[in-house]
Amino acid sequence: MDILIQQLINGLVLGSVYALVALGYTMVYGILELINFAHGEVTMMGAMVAVAVMGMLMGAAPDLPGVWVALLGLLAAVSACMALGYVIERAAYRPLRQAPRLAPLITAIGISILLQNIAMMIWGKQYIPFPRILPEARHNILGASITDVQIAILGLTLVIMAGLVWLVNRTSLGRAMRAVAQSKSVAQLMGVDVNKVISATFLIGSGLGAVAGVMVSANYGQAHYYMGFLLGLKAFSAAVLGGIGNIAGAMLGGLLLGVIESLGAGYIGDLTGGFLGSQYQDVFAFAVLILVLVFRPSGLLGEKGVERA
Amino acid sequence: MKWSALAVALVAALSFVACGRKPDAASDGAQIVKIGQSSPLTGPQAHLGKDNDNGARLAIDEINAAHPVLAGKPVVFELVSEDDGADPKTATTVAQRLVDEGVVGVIGHLNSGATIPASKVYADAGIPQISPSATAVKYTTQGFKTAFRVMTNDAQQGKVLGAYAAKLGKKIAIIDDRTAYGQGLADEVEKAAKAAGEDVVAREYTTDRASDFMAILTSIKSKSPDVVFFGGMDPQAAPLVKQMRQLGMKAQFLGADGSETPKFIELAGPDAEGSIASMPGLPLESMPGGQAFKQKFEAKYGEIQNYAPYAYDAARVMVDAMKRANSAEPAKFLAELPKTDFQGVTGHIRFDSRGDLAGGSITLYQVKNGKWTVLETVKSAE
């Protein structure tokens, strides 16, 4: 039983990160019908900027408490990634908004490779350590253990998700986003500044990505220029699993993918008597994705035409 | 007019340079013998590749300084160095280039991935090859009579690790990263651990890109092993050991040369403390000629990175075989190589029937106070 609880905790922590990154994919898709493949790299940039800023802070102000250093690093990462997301949209996607849909897709892949190489040039090819400044206490819950960082990840994800739901459903910006998602031209006729709404979407999505990037590197203790690629791929799958374009779907899809992966890797060896080992954990997760898509092509919560945002 | 004068001057200068180079050695009637060296001289492993190059170069310079004589004629050895970029495809091109240039033997390559494909080129040309640092078992099991190495292979390392794990506890869990290196090593450790009467309670897998091991570690934790062995590199080993502690696992972490790096300690921080990992060969301080070599090398090239002493010995072993054969012809001294019995700086060098180092040493290190410190050195079985 304690193993099952531990695996669920593992899965929820992993899934929280997937969900935050998946939100970035799904929001952009909901509004532009563009799969922003550069989003994984924006997440990586968040982690890298945070680690770099924290390193500088620790050098400049050694007396600052670790939690403050981490928060300032997070803040720097979020601002940097928001700026990055804004610039990417402005420079790479906006000029192609009327182009065939393949053009921005290829551009997105190009931006992703560009960002990877920039990160490699700035920070090198080596893995860089996340400074050990956060409390590392372990707590026991029904025989399973969870660290402070993991509790922070779960808590922060919940707060951010609640905030996002409130933003989309209760504010005028949210209403504008939903309107643009349904029809750009009609929204424009109703006086919505479409460009501003799209920029806002990129700002929010990239900010969430930065938070996820910092969480990942804090949890695993390291950052690397290539870390965004696999994370982005998994998060994109999570968004599709939940129904791409649907915000609640991205959250559900992310958490579900994390839990499935965790349970799959943890139990597949024992259940098949060692015939299939944990090397199949990704296969297991993607098999579930394929199954869901066979029976519900638009994803778990995706319903075509209704409330994309 | 001006241009043609310049051209004449240029041609004259060039011919002077061209003449000036070769007769340098031939002027005293000495015969030039070319020995090839190949390692990554560019790219992320360039520091290691240059280290091998310098090691071989130091050996050749010393040998030349003693005015060697083969079959009654003075000879001068020349090291021809080629960059393989640690890439298997480039390695075969470079190997062919060395063969075409007429080298009589090759010191190299550095990586197993480059050494294995290149070894076929040398075997086809009948040119002896001694790798200072390739450890994959496959290199010497392809049936090439020309392939030798002066470092213990992964099977020998795996055996030592498996036997050592049995000393640490009764139950072992084994994880590998599914690369040729990690998987090969983990398989050897599993065999050796079983042979030592150890209970292999879990065999799990990950990739060389992963950073989350919570799921497999949770599953392993439920089987309460005494030792967790990981076959792979430091970017995975570090978060793995960190997550073991996060889950409250008290099992001993055991790794191999992919984990025995300063980067491992940097990434895992305090969680690295107490981890044990192996490294082929002796620590430099315990090598028979380690201190003297270190002084000579550092005076000329600066700090030793890793494998320079092995490249140094590989070059000397090759020339030693030539001296015994009294010939620099590949076919003739190749016959002498298997009979090698040489006291090198890295230890006593002899080859077994496959060209592997016989009775080489493996050293176990443990992280103490944030530094890898020597635990013990084990002689591998012959």
pLDDT digits over B235-249, tens only? 899 999 999 999 999
ipTM of model? 0.88
Cβ contact (<8 Å) for A269 and B219? Answer: yes
Amino acid B1: pLDDT: 44
Q: Which amino acid is at B290?
A: G
Gap between the Cα atoms of A208 and A215, Å rounded: 11
pLDDT at A7: 93
Q: Which pLDDT value is given to residue B28?
A: 63
Give the model's pLDDT for residue A305.
Answer: 47
Helices A194-220/A227-242 angle, 10° precision: 120
Give mean pLDDT, residues A269-288. 78
Average pLDDT, chain A: 91
Under an 8 A CB cutoff, do A269 and B242 touch? no
Whether residue A261 lies within 8 A of chain B, CB to CB, comes out as yes
What is the C-alpha to C-alpha distance for residues A217 and A74, in angstroms, rounded to an integer? 11
Q: Quick one: pLDDT at residue B191?
A: 93
Cis peptide before B348 (omega within 30 of 0): no
Q: What local confidence, expressed as pLDDT, does residue A40 receive?
A: 96
Q: Would the CB atoms of B203 and A277 count as touching at under 8 Å?
A: yes
- Which chain B residue has its CA at the smallest distance from A5's CA? B218
CB contact under 8 A, A278 and B214: no
Low-confidence ranges of chain B (pLDDT < 70): 1-28, 381-382
Average pLDDT, chain B: 89
Provide the pLDDT for residue B23. 38
Rounded distance between C-alpha atoms, residue B253 and residue B271, angstroms = 10
pLDDT for the residue B21: 41
pLDDT at A304: 58
Report pLDDT for B332: 95
Residue A270 pLDDT grade (very low, low, confident, very high; cuts 50, 70, 90): confident
Backbone φ and ψ of A4, nearest 5°: -60, -45
Best mutation target, A17, A51, A121, A279, to test chain B (most B CBs within 10 A) = A279
Contact B360, B280 (CB under 8 A): yes
Minimal-distance CA residue of chain B relative to A263 = B215
Q: In this predicted structure, what is the pLDDT of residue B22?
A: 41
pLDDT tens digit sequence for A122-136: 998 778 999 988 888
What percentage of residues in chain A have a pLDDT greater than 70? 97
Torsions phi, psi for B148 (to 5 deg): -135, 160
pLDDT at residue A145 tops 70: yes
Q: Report the residue of A2, A6, A139 to disrupt the B interface, i.e. the one with the largest count of B CBs within 10 Å.
A: A6
Helix axes A247-271 and A227-242, enclosed angle (nearest 10): 110
Q: Looking at residue B8, what is its pLDDT?
A: 53
With CB atoms and an 8 Å threshold, state whether A278 touches B205. yes
